[in-house]
Amino acid sequence: MNGNYIPVIAIDGPSASGKGTVAQRVAAKLGFHYLDSGALYRLVALVAMRSGGDLGGDEKRLSEVARELDVVFKGTEIRLGNEDVADAIRSEACGNAASKIAAYPAVRAALLARQRAFRQLPGLVTDGRDMGSVVFPEAALKIFLTATAEARAERRYKQLMAKGIDANIATLLQDIQERDARDSNRSVAPLQLGADTNLLDTTSLNIAQAVDSVLQQYAETRAKARA
């Protein structure tokens, strides 16, 4: 392993699986950079929604939006121009729109180089749908983090209620199941468990246990690489 090697931990998984929280905490523990790739798709969705763009047909325009995003990630802030949109992009409407946008090959291509630019020393932890399969296929560790749809709907429900946002758990479950189907069946970079990816089912785990599992797997990966 040469001195210029930059390790990547890629954590992929379905909506509301907790991969973002786990990835952030793993990055903090290791002192690595963090990339929330889904935020980029949500930003494209937010810009398109605000401009009245057609989320279901104008792939060329959406890819232009992706290339021209004026975004800065700073701590918990996600600044689009001069506005912190970290909360705005977390709405259910924005998430559903992002899932539709992510199916467009031109949009994914426009964001690819931007995502790879986050790989900087001392390392990167990233989460998304295709981080291990497409964006960082040579990642040191690939995790597919999941949970049952029912568990994910309950977690999302609690998150929204804690923020004072009214939610219906049956509607959330339906949305999650629809997004799972859409993400898994799209023609470009579908959500899937790769042959070189470790499955981590968090249905019966809390966040701390999931973080510990990823850290342990990374330590084992490093030990093997040194052997």
Rounded to an integer, the average pLDDT of 55-67 is: 84
Count of other CB atoms within 10 angstroms of residue 12: 29
Q: What is the band of 56 on the pLDDT scale with cuts at 50, 70, 90?
A: low
Q: Do residue 24 and residue 106 come from a single domain?
A: no
Portion of the chain with pLDDT greater than 90, in percent: 66
Q: Which residues contact 29 (CB under 8 A, 6 or more apart)?
A: 211, 215
Binding residues, by number, are 13-21
Q: Do residue 79 and residue 162 come from a single domain?
A: no
pLDDT at 72: 84
Q: What is the band of 46 on the pLDDT scale with cuts at 50, 70, 90?
A: very high
Hey, is 12 helix, strand or coil? Answer: strand
> Is 221 within 8 Å of 166 (Cβ atoms)?
no
pLDDT at 160: 87
Q: Do residue 87 and residue 16 come from a single domain?
A: no
Instruction: List, for residues 169-215, the tens digit of each pLDDT value.
Output: 999 999 999 988 988 888 777 788 888 999 999 999 999 999 999 99
Residue 101 within any structural domain of the chain: yes
Q: What's 138's domain CATH number?
A: 3.40.50.300
Higher pLDDT, 127 or 57: 127
pTM: 0.85
> Is 3 a residue whose pLDDT tops 60?
no
Residue 1 within any structural domain of the chain: no
Number of residues in the chain: 227
Binding residues for ATP, by number, are 13-21
Listed residues 120, 148, 177: the one ending a domain: 120
pLDDT at 123: 97
pLDDT at 53: 63
Residue 2 within any structural domain of the chain: no
Rounded to an integer, the average pLDDT of 32-45 is: 93
Q: Which of 122, 112, 131, 99 is nearest to 11 (CA)?
A: 131
Listed residues 97, 120, 143: the one ending a domain: 120
pLDDT at 84: 96
Q: Do residue 138 and residue 190 come from a single domain?
A: yes
Q: What is the band of 86 on the pLDDT scale with cuts at 50, 70, 90?
A: very high
> Is 155 within 8 Å of 209 (Cβ atoms)?
no
The whole-angstrom distance between residue 202's C-alpha and the CA centroid of its chain comes to: 16
pLDDT at 54: 63
Q: Do residue 25 and residue 127 come from a single domain?
A: yes
Q: Do residue 130 and residue 190 come from a single domain?
A: yes
The whole-angstrom distance between residue 178's C-alpha and the CA centroid of its chain comes to: 17
Measured distance CA(2)–CA(149) in Å, rounded: 42
C-alpha angle 48/51/57, rounded to 5°? 50
Instruction: List, for residues 92-147, the tens digit of each pLDDT value.
Output: 889 888 988 888 999 999 999 889 999 999 999 999 989 999 999 999 999 999 99
Number of domains in the chain: 2
Listed residues 68, 88, 120: the one ending a domain: 120
Measured distance CA(161)–CA(122) in Å, rounded: 37
Task: For residue 107, give its domain range.
Answer: 38-120
Q: Do residue 96 and residue 177 come from a single domain?
A: no
